[in-house]
Amino acid sequence: MDIRLDKNAYGKNAIHLSKIIRHPDRHEIRHISVNIALQGDFETVHTIGDNTKVLPTDTMKNTVYALAKDHFTTSIEEFGLHLADHFLTNNSQVSDVTISLTEYCWQRMTFDGVPHPNSFVNGGSEKHEALVIQDRRKTDLSAGINDLLILKTTDSGFEHYIKDKYTTLKETSDRIFSTQCDITWKYDSVPPDPGQRYKAIRENLLHTFANHKSLSVQHTLYAMGDAVLKTFPDIKEITLKMPNKHHILFNLEQFNIKNHNEIFIATDEPYGYITGTLTRS
């Protein structure tokens, strides 16, 4: 029987790093998690236990902390690109490097309209994501937002859908629209300032969500992706996952009280799950 090792990789996951960037008048706090995966000439470590081509995963972890001192000063995209280049440059047996980064959001405390120089409050569930996949010919960069919880109280409806004998949902032209979405986009090429580009794309997504007259979650999903692709020509693809965080109008009429779209039941489960990927034709 002819048995061979097919695609394989190894690395270090969940490398958590916090860094204080000290400015003369204020501090910044950055908290990230890094995953590293290497592919390459590693067959003999599997087949005969030869470790001579293996960079220990503990060394990968230490490398993240050491390089963060001088090279994690801007965006996680740029730090990920530097890490990938480091592992490729210094390990001839490595053919492909994948670096996945997550940044947890902290917001500066503000008192009487004045930002505090060194105190922060957690920014909630939202996270900034980046993915670098690099080999010896090219670099692919993706970025995105994870667990972005957004809501608007009007300009959303759901009508004219299929109704069968099991349908109980009532049509509405005015409802709460809330979603905790994951959004990922792929760049055609690495932008000159990935951190600023991330902020601009996030602002574009939020602006579209807030101002779009939504006839369904799908309708707004498409509008958000469409706006990003039209505004940023170096993005070749965007994927949006938008679970519908239902807010169901509560029946106050049983108590002889009118409910003018004011009182809702907020439910976690079950929920609608809507996804879509937009690309350039």
Which tens digits make up the pLDDT trace of 30-40? 999 999 999 99
Summarize the confidence of residues 109-122 as an average pLDDT.
97
CB atoms within 10 A of CB 136: 10
Tokens matching residue 122: 């957690």
For residue 258, the one-letter residue type is K
- Catalytic, out of 44, 57, 139, 153: 57
What is the Cα–Cα distance from 126 to 182, expressed in whole angstroms?
Answer: 9
> What is the per-residue burial (b if ≥16 Cβ within 10 Å, else e) of 76-89?
bbbbbbbbbebbbe
Instruction: Specify the residue for token string 């509008």.
Output: 223
Task: Check if 12 is active-site.
Answer: yes
Predicted local distance difference test score (pLDDT) of residue 77: 98
What residue ranges do the domains of the chain occupy?
10-137, 148-279
Give residue 251's pLDDT band: very low, low, confident or very high (50, 70, 90). Answer: very high
Q: Which residues share a beta bridge with 99?
A: 36, 132
CB atoms within 10 A of CB 36: 25
pLDDT at 61 over 90: yes
CB atoms within 10 A of CB 281: 3
Task: Check if 53 is active-site.
Answer: no
Give the residue from 109, 58, 102, 54 showing the smallest Cα distance to 77: 102
Task: Check if 246 is active-site.
Answer: yes
Predicted local distance difference test score (pLDDT) of residue 118: 98
CB 204 within 8 A of CB 231: yes
Give the containing element (helix H, strand E) for 273: strand 272-279
What is the Cα–Cα distance from 21 to 28, expressed in whole angstroms?
Answer: 5
pLDDT at 1 over 90: no
194-211 and 217-231 helices, crossing angle to 10°: 140
Mean per-residue pLDDT of the chain: 97
Domain 148-279 has CATH 3.10.270.10: yes
CATH architecture of 10-137: Roll (3.10)
pLDDT at 237 over 90: yes
- Of the chain, the percentage scoring pLDDT greater than 90 comes to 98
What is the pTM (predicted TM-score) of this model? 0.94
- Of the chain, the percentage scoring pLDDT greater than 70 comes to 100
CB 279 within 8 A of CB 236: yes
pLDDT at 281 over 90: no
CB 129 within 8 A of CB 77: no
Predicted local distance difference test score (pLDDT) of residue 268: 87
Q: What is the pLDDT of residues 2-24, one digit of tens each?
A: 888 999 999 999 999 999 999 99
pLDDT at 227 over 90: yes
Q: Is 271 helix (H, G, I), strand (E, B) or coil?
A: coil
- Catalytic, out of 12, 127, 186, 245: 12
Q: What is the pLDDT of residues 122-150, one digit of tens each?
A: 999 999 999 999 999 999 999 999 999 99
Give the residue from 276, 246, 274 showing the smallest Cα distance to 169: 246
Summarize the confidence of residues 185-206 as an average pLDDT.
97
Summarize the confidence of residues 213-224 as an average pLDDT.
98
Q: What is the pLDDT of residues 84-104, one digit of tens each?
A: 999 999 999 999 999 999 999
- Catalytic, out of 31, 53, 82, 246: 246
**Topology alike, domains 10-137 and 148-279:** yes
